[in-house]
Amino acid sequence: MATMKFMCDAERCIECNGCVTACKNANEVEWGIQRRRVVTLNDGEPEEVSISVACMHCDDAPCIAVCPTETLFQRDDGIVLHDKDLCIGCGYCLYACPFGAPQFPQQNAFGERGKMDKCTFCAGGPAETKEEEYQKYGANRIAEGKLPLCAEMCSTKALLAGDAQEVADIFRQRVVQRGHKDGGWSGNPRADADSLAYDASQQG
Amino acid sequence: MSHTMQWRSLWRLGLLALMLALGLALSQGALAQQADPGREAAFAVPAVDADLWRQVKAGETGPNYRDSRAESTYNLVNASGETWRQIRERWISPFGAIAVLGMIAAIALFYLLVGRKKLDEPRTGRKLLRWSLVVRSLHWTVATLFILLALTGLNLAYGKTLLRPLFGDGAWAAMMSGTKLIHNYLGPLFGILLVILLLRLLSHNIPKAHDLQWFAKGGGLVGKGHPDAGFANGGEKVWYWLLATAGLAVIVSGFVLDFPNYGQARDTMQWANIIHAVGALGLTAVALGHIYIGTVGTEGSLEGMTTGYVDETWAKEHHNLWYEEVKESAVPEEQIAQAKGPSGSSPQGSS
């Protein structure tokens, strides 16, 4: 069984926010929620670097561990989904997640949280009908044999999605092509010691 | 003299020119290598090194950090969530369960070994007013809310493990939604009423020197006879001050968690959650002791909080100093029953 993963190649991300827009559009995400975001470090400086972030569909997902209602669950292919019927809006997944993926609509009085929403790897979620699934979770592109739209639409192919092994192979190939031992994250003076990408270039 | 100096400096100048030419040639070679069309530019993004990523993970980002999500308060990587998870899963959950279940076991064992604390002397039939109607109403409202909040809180913490297998999806969803509504909506009411009750009972719970004696005698368990006690004995004062400290911490942290609309950061809510869980589980364990002592554990205690009156004998044995103060105001049982009248309304009094 494949294990589905996202990977963003920060050497290629140009902060166009196309992934953010594609996600919004593909999933008709409700107002105030943005499942994917682009983070830029040192914006406007020579060492500026951008990376696209959403749910990383962790193997040992902290959100699943702390959820008191079993709203969150992991499919056999590693995709972490949520069941909106079970969510009570306690916010524990939000406390636990390292990437700020879970979000809550807070349109009620006193900011009371509604039902959690997060990236589904474009794999929908539990529902009776297709219409209900789309309305609650957005597109189920995986069921149609397609990858998440954010990665499919990425203009520089910085954002990769798919079977972890294939994503790793593509990235490894890139690092080898770049032709220097710190091709994963440039300019690393401790590349020999730090960089997994260096190992990849040695094996390539 | 001056001639030799001139020759020497000329020689130096020549050497410098040679080195410059050599260096230029070398760097030309390097540039040619970089321009290899088969390779991407070697240093397209300079100085994004491992140290930068470590800083990002530690949340140390510069002023030029941008996030495309509106009103985002997140870092790229928020490592504090894992700390919160570990504290919650490894410490609070198991030790909270041990505290609550351990207290139940300890009380059961105590009841089996020592049994109920009966009155040493027979009742006199003359009663003393101990708790006014206002205090009794407050006490039972706060007590009911405490039990509801404890049960819903325990369900939020342990329901997934204990109850989830018993429910189908539909019933489970409804039960958990109800749990959250009860907990989040009744919580603030409990907080306000507990503060009022604590203020009302403050004057009875100022620590006194004789409380130390009370503790030394284990509240009467060690040695013979009852240790000195005023209106509240040492144990009751501990319960009061636990509620006034840990209880207030639970209330304040509960408000932080219940009203996420004041811009409090995620890290603040993680700590509030830890304080809330530790305080609430601890208080739940101690409350079990309070419930036992106030009902099954001690003869004559419960009627004080239900009818408002306690028997003279009970007052003399458990609160001798208070008894000395108020013994003049003792009234016969029949008089209270008459005063209540056929309507059953209890007399108002002050405590």
Note the pLDDT tens digit of each residue in B293-326: 999 999 999 999 999 999 999 999 999 999 999 9
Distance CA A61, CA A165 (A): 19
> Looking at residue B76, what is its pLDDT?
86
How far is the alpha carbon of B93 from chain A, nearest alpha carbon, in Å?
11
Which range has the worst mean pLDDT, A67-81, B16-30, B148-162?
B16-30
Do A191 and A140 fall into the same domain?
no
Residue A172 and residue A153 in one domain: no
Instruction: Using a CB–CB cutoff of 8 Å, tell me whether A34 touches chain B.
Output: yes
- Between CA B240 and CA B204 the distance in angstroms is 10
- Pairing relationship of beta strands A159-163 and A4-8 according to DSSP bridges: antiparallel
Contact call for A66 and B257, based on CB within 8 A: no
Q: Tell me what pLDDT residue A174 has.
A: 84
Dig out the tokens for B297 from the structure.
């554990």
Closest-CA distance of chain A to residue B335, Å? 52
Note the ipTM here.
Answer: 0.85
Residue A186: closest CA among A52, A44, A39, A48: A48
Among the partner residues A70, A178, A195, nearest to B40 by beta-carbon distance? A178
A118 with A171, same domain: the answer is: no
Closest partner residue to B173 (CB to CB) among A15, A86, A179 is A86
Question: Average per-residue pLDDT in chain A?
Answer: 88
CATH of the domain at A114: 3.30.70.20
Pair (A155, A179) in one structural domain: no
At A95-108, the pLDDT tens digits run 999 999 999 998 88
Q: Distance from A171 to chain B by nearest Cα, in Å?
A: 14
The reply to whether A88 and A150 lie within a common domain is: yes
Q: Provide the domain count of chain A.
A: 2
Question: Are A42 and A133 in the same domain?
Answer: yes
Both A146 and A64 in one domain: the answer is: yes
Q: What is the pLDDT of residues B116-130, one digit of tens each?
A: 999 999 999 999 999
CA distance A60 to A53: 18
Which residue from B minimizes the CA distance to A114? B177
Q: For the segment B35-59, what is each residue's pLDDT rounded down to a tens digit?
A: 444 444 444 445 566 777 788 888 8
Does residue A129 share a domain with residue A102?
A: yes
One domain, residues A113 and A142:
yes
Burial of B28 (0-12, 13-18, 19+ CB in 10 A): exposed
A181 and A80, same domain (yes or no): no
Contacts of B108 (CB under 8 A, 6+ apart): none
Q: How far is CA A200 from the centre of its chain?
A: 23
Average pLDDT for B266-271: 94
Per-residue pLDDT reduced to its tens digit, A156-204: 999 999 999 999 999 888 877 775 555 665 455 555 554 454 455 555 4
Residue A146 neighbours by CB under 8 Å, 6+ apart: A122, A152
Q: What 8-state DSSP symbol labels residue A50?
A: E
pLDDT of residue A204: 43
pLDDT the model gives residue A177: 75
pLDDT value at residue A176 = 74
Helices (H), chain B: 2-34, 50-57, 80-86, 93-113, 133-162, 169-201, 209-216, 234-242, 248-258, 266-292, 302-306, 312-318, 320-326, 333-340
| A89 chain-B contacts, CB cut-off 8 A | 180
The answer to whether B266 contacts A95, with C-beta atoms less than 8 Å apart, is yes
At B71 the pLDDT is 72
Residue A147 belongs to what domain range?
A: 4-161
- My answer on whether A145 and A193 are in the same domain is no
Architecture in CATH for domain B80-340: Up-down Bundle (1.20)
- The reported pLDDT for the residue numbered B22 is 65
What pLDDT shows up at residue B49? 67
Among B66, B82, B261, select the one facing A110 at the smallest CB separation.
B261
Q: Residue A16 phi/psi, 5° resolution?
A: -85, -15
Collect all residues of chain A within an 8 Å Cβ-Cβ radius of residue B72. Answer: 37, 100
pLDDT at B69 exceeding the cut of 70: yes
Q: Are residues A106 and A82 part of one domain?
A: yes
Q: Is A64 helix (H, G, I), strand (E, B) or coil?
A: helix
Which H or E element spans position A94? helix A92-96
